Structure 1
Amino acid sequence: MTDHIPNNEQKHVVIGAGPAGRATATHLKNLDHEVVLISRSGSGPTLHGVERLAVNATDAQALVRAVDGADAMYNCINPTSYARWATEWPPIHAALMHTAQVTGAVLVTLSNLYMYGPQRDASPMTPESLEDPQDDKGRIRARMDRETLRAHQDGTLRAVVVRASDFVGPGIGENGHGTRNVPAIAHGRRAYILGSADQPHSWTDIDDVAATLATVATSPETHGLVWFAPTNPPVTQRELANQIAAVLEVPEPSISKLPLGLMKVMGIVSPLIREISSIAYQFKGPWVIDSAATTQALGVYPTDWTSVVRRSARGNVE
């Protein structure tokens, strides 16, 4: 740590410059930390006070150089396509683990819920819920989280995992099932959804994800565990679409389901569509999480839902 850095300032390196990475970098900078945001190109929207670096996350030596001296490193990266997870995740995961071990920085992983299977009853998911991945994406994520936490228990590195449901908030756009229809709703067009319009679904605000990542990074008592990012009570896809329309002061949209049968046929020739079809179960039935343990332990609360919807609507209109 250099002399000009205040005593309360730490160095944090965020790996991955998508919506989650940018939100996390911004949150950390607002806490007066030194923040480095890493991506393959090093380009993207300017974030005040955040240094950007171009680093290939599979290059362990380059990653070590970038993270050296940091208190925490954040895995907010995602491969370029669902269809490439099986080939792109392993070298990234290996480089992240190696870097955390060599530098001593806490490896804070932003994970998802793909390792959980369809909900069989009305009980919401918790971090302790039985893992039952339905496809390779879930198995890959489960294995990565498991290996990371096992390395923490072994004393090889320091690590903590945060899982979140589908993102909402500004700047998510087509990357989120809850926000990709915002432009269509704004212009009075039909909204197309995956699965059922009327099943309860948990949506996690991107800024609440960032706040949780930053909190666990500097809370040693949370390390070695899985935490759910604070998330509001569930809302159906129809309710969310109608709430977005209300914010934008446009009529409630007509809603149509994406034809899963056709998607399966198209998946024969399109790996991306095949991968999207494989997570349709998350929208065909209830998909609800209970994040109360995180709020109770960390004092991090979900953002007021009215504010979440307003920011999601106004921050994703093209």
Structure 2
Amino acid sequence: MSHHLVLGAGPVGRATATLLASQGHDVLLAHRSGTGADLPGVRRVALDAADARALTDAATGAAVIYNCMNPGSYTTWERDWPPLQTAMLAAAESTGAVLAIVSNLYMYGLQGTGDVITPESPTNGTDHKGLLRNRMDQEALKAHQDGRIQAVVVRASDYVGAGIGANSMGTRLVAGASKGKRAVFFGNPDLPHSWTDVEDVASTVVAAAADPQAHGRVWFAATNPPRSQRELLTEVLDAVGKPMVAVSTIPGAVLTLSALLMPFMREVKGVSHQFTGPWVIDSAQTERELAVAPTPWAEVLHRTATGNG
């Protein structure tokens, strides 16, 4: 048994803490309020992770620090992420804990028909959120290469699974559609798209953190074969015996106008290329080298339906 510090109590943080506790580890789940539903075998603590001294104190004795955080508003990422990054690097260097980072795919650009994204694909996205997260990932990997810390990065596609609600393109329509409401899609609802279950993110980051041979690299979370937005919603509803609902799409011109008027929609438009082109990732390397396979799709569908309806 070893001590692990999980930062962030969202779906991925909770899944990671729960998995570690089930493996018999001592787990401390940290976020600003320190509150939330009890998780078996998991202790909670209120912590400002941007406070390097407080974070270092909490991480002392930990084998791994897991960055499962995600600042609440895209519009404040440039303000919120840098002090968190500085504190995490300092804590990892001071304590010797592995820094295991849960990242995203925003740094990859528009994909063409037949394209598949791998960890080695060029990070050619232009949106500020992707540029920022890629800089953070590379900064941590550079610190690893320089021998200052041990670090590993796990990137995942849009989340599915339980407890995500409206915070993912894969689950935002589930609650309404479960009540028979029309589904309004972004982009082209019939393009192939990869969806990553939050529990598979947890399984991948825990396995990568535990394997010294995995450190210093970018990995993709274990992910099932792609489904279009329409296929995903149809299958989620079918998993609980409900029919598919009427659908429509947001015209590109409407999204552009909304982006001019509303900061949140401007942030959505910045990564809309994920839904105007195919968005398919290949996690075969994770399955082959880390021995982490995605959860069977039927199980993913069921917990997406029951955990977000």
Name the TM tier (shorter chain): over 0.9
What are the superposed Cα offsets for residues 84-126 of structure 1, whole Å, 9 maximum, x if unpaired?
1111111111111111000110000000000100113413100
Instruction: After TM superposition, give the deviation of residue 310 of structure 1 in Å.
Output: 1.0
How much has 1:185 moved relative to structure 2?
1.4
Structure 2 SS opposite 1:268: helix
For residues 125 and 267 of structure 1, the distance between their equivalents in structure 2, rounded to whole angstroms, comes to: 27
Letter in 1 for 2:102: L
Task: Give the distance between the partners of 1:120 and 1:234, measured in 2 at CA.
Answer: 15
Matched, 1:235 2:227: yes
Query: Shift of residue 248 of structure 1?
Result: 2.4
Amino acid at match of 1:207: E
The residue aligned with 1:195 is 187
Q: Where does the alignment leave 5 or more consecutive residues of structure 1 unmatched? A: 1-8
SS for the counterpart of 2:308 is: coil
Counting only pairs closer than 5 Å after superposition, residues 1-318 of structure 1 correspond to structure 2 as 9-317=1-309
The code of the aligned residue for 1:244 comes to V
CA contact (8 A) 2:112 2:277 kept: no
What's the CA shift string for 1:113-156, capped at 9, x where partnerless? 00100113413100000111221001001100001000000001
Q: CA deviation at 1:176?
A: 1.3
Q: 1:38 is paired with a residue of what secondary structure?
A: strand
* Alpha-carbon distance in structure 1 between the residues aligned to 2:7 and 2:252: 34
Taking the aligned partners of 1:161 and 1:236, their CA distance within structure 2 comes to: 26
TM-score (norm 2): 0.98
**What's the C-alpha RMSD, in Å, of the aligned pairs?**
1.0
Tell me the matched-pair count. Answer: 309
Deviation per residue, 1:40-75 (Å, 9 max, x gap): 111111111111111111100000011110000000
Q: Distance in 2 between matches of 1:192 and 1:74?
A: 35
* Alpha-carbon offset, residue 253 of structure 1: 1.2
Matches of 2:113 and 2:235, distance apart in 1: 27
Q: Name the aligned partner's letter for residue 81 of structure 1.
A: S
Q: Give 1:273 shift.
A: 1.2
Whether the 8 Å contact between 2:66 and 2:101 is mirrored in structure 1 is: yes
Deviation at 1:159, TM superposition (A): 0.2
Q: Which residue of 2 aligns with 1:3?
A: none
Residue identity in the other structure for 2:20 = L
Q: What is the alpha-carbon distance in structure 1 between the residues aligned to residue 67 and residue 145 of structure 2?
A: 19
Stretches of structure 2 that go unaligned for 5 or more consecutive residues are none
- CA distance in 1 between partners of 2:75 and 2:255 (Å): 15
TM-score by length of structure 1 reads 0.95
